Amino acid sequence: MNQDLAALLLVQNDDEAIRAIEARRDALSPRLAALDKTRQRAVDDVARNDAALERELARIHALEARIAEHRERHEKNLAVLNQAHKLKEATAAMAQVETARKVLADDESELLALSRRIVELRVVATSSREYHNAMVSEQADTRAAIAAERAHIDAALAAARVKRESLVGAVSKSLFSKYDRVQSRRKANALFALHGDFSCGSCDTAIPRQRRTAMSSGQSIEVCEGCGVLLYLPIAPVAE
């Protein structure tokens, strides 16, 4: 049992190392998520600003078509006015010319306002695209560093797992499966040395008197009634 226990303690050391490596790997995720969030926000900004510009460009094209139509009508009105012979005809044609002139004036001022707005939107769209590109190249170094760190961590993890496999081979199946159940549930150490007063090395709950004798021989591993870890009596030189 002592040899078995010593072998299991080595597995436990490796499991602790594996958990530490996994924690380092997990710590990369929020860093990547923050980078992704910043990038997504910039992508969304570019799309929104481009869409706003497109909308106003469509409006100005429609307005230009309308203005061409209004100009044509105005020309016709002028021609009618020029050919009017009677006063009544001339008055009616004059009124139409005046109305069309007013419509055209309104069109022109709308065109001017819209053109100004498009200039502004172009500036905004360009600057959001520039920000996006600068941010992407700025993130490239950080992303490369994280990827390198990730590769390094994965290699360390693979090595620790291979090592664990070889260490597990030296532990009896029954003891190992007991240990593995507890450690995978706790996601922490499962095997603890008893304190000198026969209390649990993890939670200090005392071991019932009737179970102490079996443990005193160093041949038995008991489950703590308080916290469920496996307890052993550290008598002989167990570790190393």
Verify binding: residue 207, Zn ion, rule CB under 5 A.
no
Verify binding: residue 227, Zn ion, rule CB under 5 A.
yes
CA angle 22, 23, 27 (to 5 degrees): 115
> Which H or E run includes 48?
helix 2-83
| Amino acid at position 150, single letter | R
Given the complex with Zn ion, which of 122 and 195 has the nearer CB atom?
195
| Amino acid at position 105, single letter | A
Least separation, in Å, of the C-beta of 183 and Zn ion? 14
Q: End-to-end distance of the chain based on CA atoms, in angstroms?
A: 15
Among 16, 52, 226, 234, the residue binding Zn ion under the rule CB under 5 A is 226
Task: Confirm if 152 and 24 have CB atoms less than 8 A apart.
Answer: no
Structure-block tokens of residue 4: 């078995």
CA distance 182 to 188: 9
Given the complex with Zn ion, which of 90 and 206 has the nearer CB atom?
206
Verify binding: residue 128, Zn ion, rule CB under 5 A.
no
Among 224, 230, 233, 238, the residue binding Zn ion under the rule CB under 5 A is 224
Given the complex with Zn ion, which of 38 and 205 has the nearer CB atom?
205
> Which H or E run includes 39?
helix 2-83
| DSSP 3-state of 157 | helix
Residue span 164-203 as binding mask against Zn ion, x where in contact by CB under 5 A, dash where not: ------------------------------------x-xx
Strand partners, 222: 231
Given the complex with Zn ion, which of 6 and 227 has the nearer CB atom?
227
Given the complex with Zn ion, which of 21 and 200 has the nearer CB atom?
200
Least separation, in Å, of the C-beta of 145 and Zn ion? 42
Given the complex with Zn ion, which of 88 and 209 has the nearer CB atom?
209
Considering only the stretches 102-110, 134-142, 207-215, 220-228, report the one whose residues sit in contact with Zn ion under the rule CB under 5 A.
220-228
CA distance 145 to 153: 12
Least separation, in Å, of the C-beta of 228 and Zn ion? 7
CA distance 154 to 238: 31
Question: Applying CB under 5 A, which residues contact Zn ion?
Answer: 200, 202-203, 205, 224, 226-227
